[in-house]
A and B are shown apart, each in its own frame.
Chain A
Amino acid sequence: ETGVTQSPTHLIKTRGQQVTLRCSSQSGHNTVSWYQQALGQGPQFIFQYYREEENGRGNFPPRFSGLQFPNYSSELNVNALELDDSALYLCASSRRTGGMTTDTQYFGPGTRLTVL
Chain B
Amino acid sequence: QKEVEQNSGPLSVPEGAIASLNCTYSDRGSQSFFWYRQYSGKSPELIMSIYSNGDKEDGRFTAQLNKASQYVSLLIRDSQPSDSATYLCAVNPGGGSNYKLTFGKGTLLTVNP
**0/1 interface trace, chain B 36-55, chain A, CB 8 Å (1 if under):** 10000011111001000000
**0/1 interface trace, chain B 78-113, chain A, CB 8 Å (1 if under):** 000000000010101010011111111110000000
Interface size counted on chain B using CB atoms at 8 A: 25
Please list 17 pairs of residues, one from A and one from B, whose beta carbons are closer than 8 Å in the complex, sorted by A's number.
A2-B45, A40-B105, A41-B105, A42-B104, A45-B100, A45-B101, A50-B99, A56-B97, A101-B32, A101-B92, A102-B98, A104-B34, A104-B49, A106-B46, A107-B43, A109-B43, A110-B43
Residue B31 CB within 8 A of the other chain: yes
Residues of B in contact with A (beta carbons under 8 Å apart): 4, 31-32, 34, 36, 42-46, 49, 88, 90, 92, 94, 97-106
Number of A-B contacts (CB under 8 A): 61
State A105–B4 Cα separation when bound (angstroms): 17
With A90-B43, A110-B43 as known contacts, state yes or no: A42 contacts B99, CB within 8 Å.
no
